[in-house]
Amino acid sequence: MENRTLGDSEIAVSALGFGCWAIGGEWQDTDGNPLGWGTVDDEESVAAIRRATELGVTFFDTADVYGTGRSERVLGRALAGRRNEVVIATKWGNVFNEATRRLIGEDTTAAYARRALTASLRRLGTDWIDVYQLHLGDAPLVVVAELREVCEEFVREGLIRTYAWSTDDPGRAALFAQGEHCAGVQHACNVLVDAPEMLALCEQRGLASIVRSPLAMGLLTGKQASPDRGSAGDIRSLPPAWLRWFDEGGVPAPQWRARVDAVRDVLTADGRTLAQGALAWLWARSPRTVPIPGFRSVAQAEENAMALQRGPLSKAQLSEVAELLQ
């Protein structure tokens, strides 16, 4: 697989990135509901990240709020000594308490953006962030226009190289893209729920499409019965309204499971696993996509990274998937 370039920057990344939400471990919202993916082993996380780099992955996406700082610390530890070999993206906008591992609220002020950036740099053990992303998908446009200029200040100061917005609203993404150093947009997309307007925007504006939920929060891994999803610390065990893939207890919702079954044979053709086929669909969908599947083990890292060797689905396979899901 060829590398991707982030927007108009000179930053080249592997066509596959790794999302680091899951390795943050357990944390909660203000009501005590889970926002993590259950318990994790930091040593396993570090080993998985290092194994991913061995297999050609150079792009890692995290956020300050994942595990209330834990994900950034683990990522920084895993990449120590090889900072110039990788590209790191993180996010800001959420306010949290590291001691209680609780989300507190949101802050869209310029002053908080600077404090958050300083804290992320410290946790990651780096002098710069390659892609700094606003983590509040529905933030007011007038506020975001100001934050876009704050990001430009960070670029001039050498604290970040580029920036992006994590949002599923093409209109909002287009506003951020007016900034000189905006390199992309992070948005949801997968074989079950396409994002044609966002992909079109990325093509028109020359933006990188950083794709979260490429495996539908684990539904597209093929592991229908998972004790992890039923654990009290896993967000999928008590899914919020936006998490459509699972019913309470982490059980795959029947209507979505049926859609996975409908395309399983196409995605697993040519020797791919289901997860690898889902990633291959995204690469076939647009040459600007950089899917960032999550991971919690070396085995998961290897399976996802090995998808790079097989590349995208063929045009015929892409069309067949579209027909099956009509």
* pLDDT per residue as tens digits for the range 156-212: 999 999 999 999 999 999 999 999 999 999 999 999 999 999 999 999 999 999 999
Task: Give pLDDT, residue 230.
Answer: 72
Measure the CA–CA gap between 184 and 210, rounded to whole angstroms.
7
Non-local (6+) Cβ contacts of 296 within 8 A are 22, 23, 37, 40, 44, 45, 48
Which residues are paired to 165 by β-bridges?
Answer: 134, 185
The reported pLDDT for the residue numbered 2 is: 78
Q: How far is CA 235 from CA 22, 29, 96, 197, 251, in A?
A: 10, 10, 17, 28, 12
**Nearest to residue 160, comparing CAs of 198, 199, 134?**
134
Q: What percent of the chain has pLDDT over 90?
A: 96
Instruction: Provide the CATH number for the domain around residue 262.
Output: 3.20.20.100
Residue 240, Cβ neighbours under 10 Å: how many?
Answer: 12
* Separation between Cα atoms, residue 282 and residue 8, nearest integer Å: 21
Tell me, what's the pLDDT at 273? Answer: 98
pLDDT-based confidence at residue 224 (cuts at 50, 70, 90): low
Sequence-distant (6+) residues with CB within 8 A of 200 are 170
More reliable by pLDDT, 222 or 46: 46
Local confidence band at 223 (pLDDT 50, 70, 90 cut-offs): confident
| Partner residues linked to 91 by β-bridges | 133
- Give CA–CA dist 227/4, Å, rounded: 36
Tens digit of pLDDT for each residue in 33-46? 999 999 999 999 99
Tens digit of each residue's pLDDT (9 = 90 or more) over 121-145: 999 999 999 999 999 999 999 999 9
* Beta-bridge partners for 131: 89, 162
- Residue 226 in this model has a pLDDT that exceeds 70: no
Q: Provide the number of structural domains found in the chain.
A: 1
30: which 2 tokens?
């203000």
What's the mean per-residue pLDDT of the chain? 96
Query: What pLDDT does residue 177 have?
Result: 96
Q: Identify the domain containing residue 289 by its residue range.
A: 4-325
